[in-house]
Structure 1
């Protein structure tokens, strides 16, 4: 976008974000109230599939905006928190890995994900490789996104509580290291390793 241009709000991507958040949160609350695994799985499906779809829509339609990126971050946390509450209510043994996951995702990961706002010209975390390739690879490459947002839940679903706790701890370490590197870059203590200006996440 050109400097001073007002970002559009009613993009297809933002509409998808609204729809998947309403569906994800609504189904998550329903799962919590009814004690239903089926509703909880539907909530996660709406959240994860919708999150993929809004990103694809934004990129393919040329509708990526700073507002859309921040909106997506906020909605992700809303869906995750509600679904996590329902998950723990249904499976109390998953409380510790889910709690650790929420701490790293809603606190550490949120701070990292919004760090793109420091850098003019970087419209979302998907382009953070233009600032620093290592931080991007650890946090927003397709593999990193999948590892951070789904593995703990899937491990808990199959009853692998200890592996889920260990995975959540590992992801927390990644976030702490990433935040430390970002802080060092911002204060000139470490030299950033940007990729080419055209780099972006697929």
Structure 2
């Protein structure tokens, strides 16, 4: 008896949200590369704006057009890491003083946050981490609510700019370490829930 291969859905893979993800990633990475070449802060800022705006836009379009998909969520997560790492590398190459806090940020974002974000795959019915509140609201609030996303992707970069203008070089270290602590606490809570040592607290995305 021969098995029937899984049906391929190219229309879903080529849906508008995925196209936006691809375009914003190419643009952000191209700007990061040019920032490497020129060493100018302006191109880094434009690159981060393109990354953040595109990251918000693809999710909004997916929900508006009812085109959310597992493949789209995974693609978005991978592209976020590609953009963040190249932009951060350009930042560190241009401004060596940022290496310390950005190294802490990349460690938590590249390892802890990545593992947390992909944990939604453990629940087959969940399309993306945006619905993790149905499993555990505290982990969702700490990591994927709108304020948490803003803090996770922008707080360290903004604090670096502020530190460059004010000389408060302790600020980006504080922000990066605080973000790392949040990921450690979230990871511990997730493991406790998965092992049955702690009850999950499902709820609504907003209080």
TM-score range, shorter chain: over 0.9
1:82 aligns with 2:86: yes
1:61 aligns with 2:69: no
Aligned mates of 1:74, 1:30 — CA distance in 2:
21
- TM-score norm. by structure 1 comes to 0.93
For the 8 Å contact 1:138–1:174, the answer to whether it is kept is yes
1:1-202 superposed matches below 5 A: 8-158=12-162, 159=164, 160-195=168-203, 199=204
Aligned mates of 1:191, 1:62 — CA distance in 2:
32
Structure 1 residue 127 displacement after superposition? 0.1
Structure 1 residue 33 displacement after superposition? 1.5
Question: 3-state SS of the aligned residue for 2:89?
Answer: helix
Aligned mates of 2:104, 2:136 — CA distance in 1:
26
Aligned mates of 1:27, 1:56 — CA distance in 2:
23
For the 8 Å contact 2:159–2:175, the answer to whether it is kept is no
The number of equivalent residue pairs is: 195
Aligned mates of 1:129, 1:88 — CA distance in 2:
35
Query: Structure 1 stretches of 5 or more lacking a match?
Result: none
**Structure 1 runs (4+) greater than 2 angstroms displaced:** 4-7
Aligned mates of 2:169, 2:70 — CA distance in 1:
37
- TM-score norm. by structure 2 comes to 0.91
Query: Structure 2 stretches of 5 or more lacking a match?
Result: 1-5
Aligned mates of 1:30, 1:82 — CA distance in 2:
11
Question: Cα deviation per residue 1:58-112 (whole Å; 9 max; x = unaligned)?
Answer: 0010010011111110000000001001111111111111110000011100000
Which structure is larger by alpha-carbon Rg, 1 or 2? Answer: 2
Aligned mates of 2:106, 2:8 — CA distance in 1:
34
